[in-house]
């Protein structure tokens, strides 16, 4: 994919300026798209770990910045990815990246080589909208559960109507089994019990928030897994690329 927006991408990161190595690697908030607090005074530092992944890797002794970035470069030659290299920094941005992209969970990021007395270090700062999405999903499904309860309360049929429906269903005689099924030994249908009768049928079914609660917990667990897993996977991927023969 071409790098049409590469030049503007570089401007999205304060850390992209080759002369600003002393600055912390923080994005320019005014142009940072997944920032829900854009223009507010909220300090994102305390909460942005939810969807920002930061880390560092030591380079092999003698490995130059150029060589290290050269090795990482192929990772950003994917469909939907634009990237820009400037001295010791590589910035990238992804749009509509396919599932086959090894870094598809991330939408943008900065990778920079820092020179230290003990040796060079690759520091990276990656942003994932999917992590934020997954973090918010439990809340969305809790809201759906509340909506289901509210609708259930609103829709609750008057007692007399419900009793009538239950009575009608209970009065319905059970259908006799076909002789073939009888011969093969299938259990005969039972007459619906009074309590169960009102549960039957799509319309009569009482709305239950249980599935929404199940999905809320599922996404909470998935978020925890993803936050740890994707952090480790990207570290492993970058290490593998840097150490590849």
Residues at the site binding another protein, with contacts judged by CB under 8 A: 79-80, 96-100, 104-105, 129-130, 133-134, 137, 141, 144-145, 147-148, 151, 175-178, 180-181, 184-187, 189-190, 200, 202-203, 205, 207, 211-212, 215, 218-219, 222, 225-226, 229-230
Nearest distance, CB of residue 243 and another protein, angstroms: 22
Nearest distance, CB of residue 211 and another protein, angstroms: 5
Nearest distance, CB of residue 97 and another protein, angstroms: 6
| CA atoms within a 13 Å half-sphere pointing along the CA-CB vector of 59 | 27
User: What are the φ/ψ torsions at residue 193 (nearest 5 degrees)?
Assistant: -75, 160
Which string of DSSP letters, residue by residue, matches 11-59?
HTBGGGSTT-TTS---B-GGG-TT-TTTTS---GGGTGGGTEEEEEEEP
CB-nearer residue toward another protein: 62 or 185 = 185
Please, which residues have CB within 8 angstroms of residue 231's CB and are 6 or more apart in sequence? Answer: 53, 55
CB-nearer residue toward another protein: 65 or 128 = 128
CB-nearer residue toward another protein: 4 or 99 = 99
Nearest distance, CB of residue 20 and another protein, angstroms: 31
Q: Which residues of 21-34 are buried (b: 16+ CB within 10 A; e: fewer)?
A: eeeebbbeeeebeb
CB-nearer residue toward another protein: 27 or 226 = 226
Nearest distance, CB of residue 100 and another protein, angstroms: 5
Nearest distance, CB of residue 50 and another protein, angstroms: 14
CB-nearer residue toward another protein: 3 or 21 = 3
Structure tokens at 52: 């920002």
Residue 157 is classified by DSSP as: P
Residue 103 is classified by DSSP as: T
Of the candidates 151, 158, 152, 135, which has an alpha carbon nearest to the alpha carbon of residue 223?
Answer: 135
> Alpha carbon of 45 to those of 36, 99, 244: distances in Å?
13, 29, 34
CB-nearer residue toward another protein: 60 or 188 = 188
């Amino acid at each position: 994919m071409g790098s049409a927006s590469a030049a503007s991408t570089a401007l999205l990161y304060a850390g992209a300026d080759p002369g600003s190595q002393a600055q912390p690697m923080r994005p320019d908030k005014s142009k940072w798209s997944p920032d829900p607090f854009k223009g507010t005074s909220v300090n994102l530092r305390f909460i942005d770990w939810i969807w920002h992944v930061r880390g560092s890797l030591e380079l092999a002794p003698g490995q130059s910045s150029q060589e290290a970035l050269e090795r990482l470069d192929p990772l950003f030659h994917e469909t939907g990815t634009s990237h820009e290299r400037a001295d010791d920094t590589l910035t990238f941005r992804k749009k509509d990246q396919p599932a086959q992209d090894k870094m598809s969970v991330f939408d943008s990021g900065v990778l920079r080589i820092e020179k230290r007395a003990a040796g060079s270090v690759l520091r990276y700062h990656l942003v994932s909208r999917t992590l934020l999405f997954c973090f918010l999903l439990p809340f969305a499904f809790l809201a759906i559960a509340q909506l289901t309860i509210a609708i259930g309360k609103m829709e609750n049929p008057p007692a007399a109507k419900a009793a009538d429906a239950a009575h009608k269903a209970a009065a319905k005689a059970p259908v006799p089994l076909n002789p073939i099924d009888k011969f093969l030994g299938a259990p005969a249908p039972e007459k619906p019990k009074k309590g169960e009768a009102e549960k039957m049928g799509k319309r009569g079914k009482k709305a239950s928030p249980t599935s929404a609660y199940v999905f809320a917990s599922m996404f909470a667990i998935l978020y925890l897994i993803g936050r740890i897993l994707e952090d480790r996977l990207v570290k492993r991927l970058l290490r593998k690329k840097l150490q590849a023969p």
